[in-house]
């Protein structure tokens, strides 16, 4: 981390890049490494990309110097979230608590929202996302395509789809209006 910081003007460190697995399972090791980095004067942004499975780890990670978290999800509604992720040893309630607690301990909170037209942009999905934003005050949304066989995802989502879709542009416009502090982007931002 020190070496990377010496070569970059705005260093960002991210634990948990997709195929690395769930970094919160190694929260103690990450906290130890980040504390060493901070104790040696490290000033970069330290981010955790997570499924949000272990909210109880966040206070120690924040204390060690982790200042940013990105939680991946396809929905803020329990049924659809769990139909897609099929979580083991955690569930939507843990993810919800992770988002809420991350804000509470002072982390910059991003959602990695996997968008699927006709599902993510329905009224109930929209209302649920807005309600979570009002409660948990996340800071940033990274909208990404949910890259999955569309017929398979629609089959998973079918019991959870309620009503017509509003379209991506309208979804984003309405979200910006309802949660006016939210920023959109594609990468974890540097928090200088």
Q: Any idea what the CATH number is for the domain that residue 22 is in?
A: 3.20.20.70
Start-end of H helices in 40-178: 58-64, 78-85, 92-104, 123-136, 150-157, 168-178
The whole-model pTM stands at 0.94
Q: Is 145 inside a domain boundary?
A: yes
Q: What range defines the domain where residue 178 resides?
A: 2-185
Q: Is 67 inside a domain boundary?
A: yes
Q: Is 190 inside a domain boundary?
A: no
Q: Is 192 inside a domain boundary?
A: no
* CA distances (Å), origin 56, targets 27, 67, 91, 118, 137: 10, 16, 14, 34, 18
Quick check: 130 pLDDT over 80? Answer: yes
Residue predicted with more confidence, 145 or 17: 145
How far the first Cα of the chain sits from its last, in Å, is 16
Q: How many domains does the chain have?
A: 1
Distance CA 105, CA 65 (A): 11
Residue predicted with more confidence, 27 or 21: 27
Q: Is 191 inside a domain boundary?
A: no
Distance CA 43, CA 135 (A): 30
Within 10 Å of residue 147's Cβ, how many Cβ atoms? Answer: 9
pLDDT digits (tens, 9 = 90+) for 92-113: 999 999 999 999 999 999 999 9
Distance CA 21, CA 134 (A): 29
Label residue 18 by pLDDT band (50, 70, 90).
low
Q: Is 113 inside a domain boundary?
A: yes
pLDDT digits (tens, 9 = 90+) for 39-49: 999 999 999 99
> What's the pLDDT at 17?
74
Q: Is 132 inside a domain boundary?
A: yes
């Amino acid at each position: 981390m020190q070496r990377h910081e010496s070569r970059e003007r705005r260093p960002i460190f991210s634990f948990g890049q997709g195929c690395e697995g769930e970094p919160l399972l190694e929260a103690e090791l990450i906290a130890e490494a980040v504390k060493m980095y901070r104790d040696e004067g490290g000033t970069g942004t330290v981010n955790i990309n997570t499924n949000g499975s272990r909210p109880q780890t966040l206070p120690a990670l924040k204390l060690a110097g982790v200042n940013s978290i990105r939680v991946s999800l396809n929905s803020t509604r329990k049924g659809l979230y769990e139909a897609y992720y099929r979580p083991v040893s955690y569930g939507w309630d843990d993810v919800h608590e992770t988002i809420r607690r991350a804000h509470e301990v002072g982390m910059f909170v991003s959602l990695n929202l996997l968008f699927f037209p006709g599902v993510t942009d329905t009224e109930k999905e929209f209302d649920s996302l807005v309600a979570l934003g009002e409660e948990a005050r996340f800071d940033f949304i990274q909208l990404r395509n949910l890259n999955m066989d569309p017929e398979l995802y629609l089959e998973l989502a079918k019991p959870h789809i309620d009503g017509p879709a509003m379209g991506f542009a309208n979804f984003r416009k309405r979200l910006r209006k309802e949660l006016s502090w939210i920023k959109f982007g594609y990468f974890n931002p540097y928090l200088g």
